Amino acid sequence: MSSVTSTCVLRNSQAAAIASAPVLGESEFRAFVTEGAREGGRLVAFFGYPQSEGGIRLLAAIARGGESSLEVATTRVDRVYPSLTTDCVQAHGFEREIAEQWGVEPQGHPWLKPVRFHESYRPGQDVFKRQQPPQAGLADFYRIEGEEVHEVAVGPVHAGIIEPGHFRFQCHGEEVLHLEISLGYQHRGVERALVGGPNARSLHLMETLAGDTTIGHTTAYCQAVESLTGVRVPARAQAIRAIALELERLANHTGDLGALAGDAGYLPTMSYCGRIRGDFLNITALLCGNRFGRNLICPGGVARELDKNRLAQLETRLAQASQDVASAVNLLWESSSVRARFENTGTLSKETCLQLGLVGPVARACGVERDARREFPFGLYRFFQIPVSTFHHGNVFGRAFVRWLEIQRSINFIQQQLKALPGGAIRAEMKPMAPGQFCLSLVEGWRGEICHVGLTGDQGQWMLYKVKDPSFHNWMGLAVALRGQQISDFPLCNKSFNLSYCGHDL
Amino acid sequence: MIKTLRARWRQKQRTIAFPQGEPVLPELFRGRPEIDGSRCAKGCDACAQSCPTGAIQTGESGAQIDLGRCLFCLDCESACAPGAIHFTREYRLATAKREDLTVGGDIKSLGRAFNRRVQNLFGRSLKLRQVSAGGCNACEADVNVLNTIVFDLGRFGIQFVASPRHADGLLITGPVTQNMREALENTYLAVPAPRLVIAVGGCAIAGGPFADNPEVTNGAPATVPVNLFIPGCPPHPITILDGLLRLVGQIEENGDDWKKI
């Protein structure tokens, strides 16, 4: 165990007083993070917030899946502190974010660059010493020099209907030696807009953090609000939330398998899955009127009752979609040309996966049993478990196959829940949030673990709200997976990760 | 091979009947709202207070909703005790004029046919470059599905192309972040004139849930003038398809036969 004794240990969505999080000295905090991330733990949150007495408080949370525990500790910094990334790779993105937001420099950070290209939250304290307003992508990129080495720059505007991002490949011939991904083009100031809330807009900002993960992020937000108000969500609402979350997973996994088939040039599965994804989205629309699950999840429960008629329709349509998706996806595994294209492409080792702290199907495809539904059970998953689906190759095939396993398990889960849907209310009455409290809320979205951290101020308003989409970790996984690959493998690798730009950029 | 053929047979022909037939929409679908000003209590502004994006104005003649800002979230419908606001199943929402998006007590048609010149130029072939500029990727997703076999956009001569140089216009989504503004303007300038701009979703029209955040420009800036507005958060694919088909004249004007579905 960690040599640090004084930490605050919480469960998923358990509220605690902010004051109960211990303040550690610099070296003790360093040991807490670096040892915690090494010994079977993982850095799930690491961010700064301003203190009334001046300076910045850094809060880190180490998640221990085996014990379902979240260990929290804090430290005080002002303008500089020694970077933790040198001893803990998982801190890389977090430290860049802290530097950009609060103008605190992690000294000795190996690659200190802006994450989202916005101005510092502390006026006049800019770690990057920029004279002009920040411009996305305007920074030094890693370069490889040498004969026949060339650079390929792509984006922010891409060729397809995709979100903006900038990719720099350092290539030798066709081989990619290094890929650097520079984002921030989708930055629309969500976290700052939440401060001082909740208000009429808060829930809608959650629904639009990442449109394809509306249910995942909204559930994480509502869990946080509910624990900070001490409201218990009715069982029926928990069941509807879990059904919606699995439908979201089904739609996206099916879409991903279709897109992967398309990139391997296998059109039958591409066409079928493109449509079946829509069938799953339409089942979500059956629940609430919107294909992405807008206006379904709300603090206290869910906003729409699932009446008998729609319940019956849901069962019929799910059974149909279940047969269609099996027929479409099984073609992939029976096609030797598809298998050959997927296997040995974009391989990540289990060791790299653990070091980078990757999450979701990407981690499970590397043989890492990481799934918040089992490790940090929330809502209905406290009573009904879904087996964790893993594979061991860590390549495109593994990531595709894990998705297929999860599709089957999600369908089974929904079918079971529909047969045993609890009765009763769908929404509990909300109360104001308690002042001076915080909580970490974890949800296993379809891309992986979503982590929200809310801290309330002295009036029970949001003093700070931190959102972490699984993409925040996994973009680095994509960059590393591409090393030593052909540049033409990028689209296929990229689809096998299918990460969110807006969820990352916030 | 036999398995592939069997799967093909199983999966059937799935392209929808729209626009010849009526579209299939979810039971709880919310389209164009209808306001019964006579039910509005004097001085009541509960709907405006509940609106997350400030899309509602209240006045003498009752409430008015700006669909360009509206998220179709029903917060106003729930807040309105006398039931003056009701979201209908009318999916035809696209319009060429920004001011048409403000709906009040009067029933006026959205979803008009557009200018003949556009139809002569692009009626049989319209190539678009999509620019995603800061939204949540839901509009992008529901534009993308138009390329699936369900909607089969290609059959109408409309296609998304990889380069602005090959395009007749842009289809913009997202509130246009400060970080995307320059890229959007450059992409617009790279499209050869005459060029069209289509704003899809509340974000691209007025900033959506991100409106007035200093990190965004509240939708397509004045330097990228919009020819077609398709409201929604996100608009249903049918609403987007209907708008595109009206723009190129493949669905004719039905301004007078607007009916409540």
pLDDT per residue as tens digits for the range B139-197: 999 999 999 999 999 999 999 999 999 999 999 999 999 999 999 999 999 999 999 99
Select the residue of B160, B180, B215 nearest A156 (Cβ to Cβ): B180
Q: Residue B107: pLDDT above 60?
A: no
| Burial annotation A326-356 (CB, 10 A radius, 16+ → b, else e) | bbbbebbeebeebeebbeebbbbeeebbbeb
Select the residue of A136, A212, A334 nearest B137 (Cβ to Cβ): A212
Q: Residue A135: pLDDT above 50?
A: yes
Mean pLDDT of A87-101: 96
Name the B residues in 14-73 with CB < 8 Å from any A CB. 14, 26-30, 49-53, 71-73
Q: Residue B71: pLDDT above 70?
A: yes
What CATH code would you report for B116-247? 3.40.50.12280
Predicted confidence at residue B116, as pLDDT, reads: 78
Name the A residues in 119-158 with CB < 8 Å from any B CB. 133, 135-136, 156-157
In whole numbers, what is the pLDDT of chain A averaged over residues?
94
- Rounded distance between C-alpha atoms, residue A487 and residue A174, angstroms: 6
Mean pLDDT of A294-306: 95
- Rounded distance between C-alpha atoms, residue A253 and residue A274, angstroms: 11
Mean pLDDT of B189-216: 95
Predicted confidence at residue B256, as pLDDT, reads: 39
Mean pLDDT of B105-116: 64
Q: Residue A347: pLDDT above 90?
A: yes
Judged by a CB distance cut-off of 8 A, whether residue B177 touches chain A is yes
Q: Residue B108: pLDDT above 80?
A: no
What are B128's strand-pairing partners? Answer: B160, B169
ipTM above 0.95, yes or no: no
Spatial contact of A164 and A157, defined as CB atoms under 8 Å apart: yes
Domains and CATH numbers, chain A: 8-107 (3.30.460.80), 190-505 (1.10.645.10)
Mean pLDDT of A500-504: 96
From chain B, the residues in CB contact with A214 under 8 A are: 138
Chain position carrying tokens 């008629």: A309
Chain position carrying tokens 């590397």: A366
DSSP calls for A448-469 = EEEEEEEEE-TTSSEEEEEEE-
Q: Residue A302: pLDDT above 90?
A: yes
- Rounded distance between C-alpha atoms, residue A304 and residue A184, angstroms: 35
Q: Which residues contact A188 (CB under 8 A, 6 or more apart)?
A: A502, A505, A506, B134, B175, B177, B210, B213, B215, B216
Mean pLDDT of A402-418: 97
Mean pLDDT of B215-225: 94
Q: By mean pLDDT, which of A147-156, A305-314, B36-45 is the weakest?
A: B36-45
Which of A135, A161, A316 best probes binding to B when mutated, by most B CB atoms within 10 angstroms? A161
Q: Does the distance separating the beta carbons of B50 and A212 come in below 8 Å?
A: no
The angle formed by the CA atoms of residues A261, B168 and B197, to the nearest 5 degrees, is 95
Q: Residue A465: pLDDT above 60?
A: yes
Judged by a CB distance cut-off of 8 A, whether residue B236 touches chain A is yes
Q: What percent of chain A has pLDDT over 70?
A: 99
Q: Residue A76: pLDDT above 80?
A: yes
Mean pLDDT of A391-403: 96
Predicted confidence at residue A132, as pLDDT, reads: 86
Judged by a CB distance cut-off of 8 A, whether residue A211 touches chain B is yes
- Rounded distance between C-alpha atoms, residue B239 and residue B183, angstroms: 27
Mean pLDDT of A460-478: 96
- Rounded distance between C-alpha atoms, residue A499 and residue A210, angstroms: 10
Predicted confidence at residue B257, as pLDDT, reads: 39
Q: Residue B224: pLDDT above 80?
A: yes
pLDDT in tens, A150-193: 999 998 998 889 999 999 999 999 999 999 999 999 999 999 99
Name the B residues in 96-155 with CB < 8 Å from any A CB. 129-145, 147-150
Paired tokens of B217 = 């420009």
pLDDT band at B109 (very low <50, low <70, confident <90, very high): low
Q: What percent of chain A has pLDDT over 90?
A: 93
pLDDT band at B112 (very low <50, low <70, confident <90, very high): low
What are A441's strand-pairing partners? Answer: A452
Q: Residue B111: pLDDT above 70?
A: no
Predicted confidence at residue A353, as pLDDT, reads: 95
| Helix or strand run (H / E) with residue A149 | strand A149-154
Measured between CA atoms, the residue of chain B closest to residue A304 is B28
Mean pLDDT of A134-138: 89
Of A8, A192, A12, A184, nearest to A113 by C-alpha is A184
Paired tokens of B157 = 């001569």
From chain A, the residues in CB contact with B30 under 8 A are: 289
- Rounded distance between C-alpha atoms, residue B179 and residue A97, angstroms: 17
Predicted confidence at residue B110, as pLDDT, reads: 63
